[in-house]
Amino acid sequence: MIRELQEVVVVDAVRTAFGRAGEKGIFWKTRSEDLCVPLLKALIERNPPITPGHVEDIVWGVTNQVKEQGGTLGRMISMLADWGWSVPGCSIDRMCAGGLTAIGFAAAQIACGAADCLVAGGVEHLGHLPMGFMRDPHPRAAEVMGDASAFNMGLTAENIHDRFSEFIREAADRYAAECQARAEQAIRAGRMQAMIVPVDVELPDGTRGVADRDQQPRFGTTLEALANLKTPFRENGRVTAGNASGLNDGAAAALLMSRSQADRLGLAPVMRWVATGTAAVDPRLMGTAPVPAIERALRQAGLTIADVDLIELNEAFAVQVLHNLSRLGLQADDPRVNVWGGSIAYGHPLAASGPRLVAFLLGLFRERPSARYGLTAMCVGRGQGYAMIWENITQA
C-alpha cells in the first residue's frame, strides 16, 4: 500500500515555569513526573474536543533516564494524568535536544501516516538528577571524542572562544545582557502567561504555593555586573554564569496532529512542520553544530536563512549563539533571533528546552501573522545539532 504524506501541524504548546536547580528552586520538592502531568491535562483542557482517546502515543525527551526519570517516563505520565491504560508512550534521549527530537519523531510519525494525534515534549529536573548523574563513560570515550573537554559543556564553549578568537568575552556579555533585557520586556508584557501551566508545589520553606513564573531571569542585568563574574570552567576564561544558560528544572510539551484530523475536529492549528535537519561535529566544539543542522533543514525546505522570519536558537552559551549567527551570515543583534529572550535568561532544563522553543515560536506566530517561516534549533552535547523549520498557518 502506498501512503501519501500527511501535513503535520502544531495545535498548541505549553510549559511549566522554569525553576532553578537546587534547594532554593521552586521545584526542589516536586518530582519530574509531576512537572509533566499538568501539561498533559492542560493540552486536553485547552483544546476541546480533544480527549485522551485521540492521543495515539506520547514521545518524551529525557536526558538523565534514571530514578524518577527512568522507567519509561513517557508511558507513566499519561497514567498519572488519569488517562487510563490505553495511551502508549516512550522516552528518548538526544541530551539537550531530547525534547525537540521527540517533536521531530512525532512529526515524522504523523507525516508517514502512522498516527494522527501525538503529544511530544520533554522534562529535566537537574536539581534531583544533575548532568552526568550515574553515568559510566566508556574507557575510550575521551579518546574518540578528542579529549576530556568534550565531557564538560562549559569547556566546549571555552574551546569555541579559543578556536574563533573574534568572539571575545565582551561580545558574549553584551549578547547575554540583551537576552536578559528582551526576556524582561516579554515577561512584563505578559507574553509568558498563555504558555505557562501553573503547577502546585511545596516550596523550599515547606509552605504550599503555585509555580507560574520563571525563576531564572535577572531583571536589570548590566554589562558591568556581567564583567565582574568569575570564569568557573577555566582560570582567566571567558564563559561565566552570566553568559551561559543556568541549571534548571522544567517541562514543556506540544500537541501535534495531521492537518486532516485537526480539520475534522474543528481545531485551528498554528503552524505546519516543514523540515528537520540533524548534524554532527567535533564534540569538543559541540556548540557549532546548529549551523550544519540548520543548513540541512533549509536545503530540505528549499529555503535560505533570508526566508526565515523568526529564529528560536537555544542559548546554551552566548559564544555558541555568536558563532552560529556569524556562520549563518547574521548579525549578533538580528531582530528575528530570540525575540523574547532565550535560555541565558529563562534557563536550560535540557530536554525541556526544545519544546520551549516550539512554544515560543507558536506564541510569536500568533502575535505576528505576517511572519511566514520560523526556525527552532539547538546544539547538543557530544557534538550534535538539531533544527526544525515551521510555517505559520494562522492566516491560511
- Tens-digit pLDDT profile for residues 76-132: 999 999 999 999 999 999 999 999 999 999 999 999 999 999 999 999 999 999 998
When the pLDDT of each residue in the chain is averaged and rounded to a whole number, the result is 97
Q: Give burial (CB, 10 Å; 0-12/13-18/19+) of 192.
A: buried
Q: Is 379 a catalytic residue?
A: yes
pLDDT given at position 15: 99
* pTM score of the predicted model: 0.98
Amino acid 65 reads Q
**Bridge partners of residue 8, in order along the sequence:** 258
Structural domains in the chain, CATH included, are 8-128+147-390 (3.40.47.10)
Q: Which of 54, 125, 161, 348 is flagged as catalytic?
A: 348
Confidence of residue 309 (pLDDT cuts 50, 70, 90): very high
> Using one digit for the tens of pLDDT, what is the confidence trace for 151-183?
999 999 999 999 999 999 999 999 999 999 999
Q: Which of 36, 117, 179, 379 is flagged as catalytic?
A: 379
Give the separation between CA 97 and CA 387, rounded to whole angstroms: 9
Please tell me whether residue 116 adopts helix, strand or coil conformation: coil
Q: Which of 96, 125, 128, 323 is flagged as catalytic?
A: 96
**Bridge partners of residue 89, in order along the sequence:** 58
Tell me the percentage of the chain whose pLDDT exceeds 90: 97
Cell of 68: 524518577
CA atoms within 13 A on the CB side of 73: 31
DSSP 376: E
Give the separation between CA 359 and CA 345, rounded to whole angstroms: 16
Confidence of residue 198 (pLDDT cuts 50, 70, 90): very high
> Using one digit for the tens of pLDDT, what is the confidence trace for 1-32?
777 899 999 999 999 999 999 999 999 999 99
SS3 per residue for 19-36: EECCCCCCCCCCCCHHHH
Query: How many other C-beta atoms lie within 10 A of the C-beta of residue 306?
Result: 9
Q: Is 96 a catalytic residue?
A: yes
Give the separation between CA 217 and CA 19, rounded to whole angstroms: 10
Give the separation between CA 238 and CA 231, rounded to whole angstroms: 6
User: What integer is the mean pLDDT of 217-224?
Assistant: 97
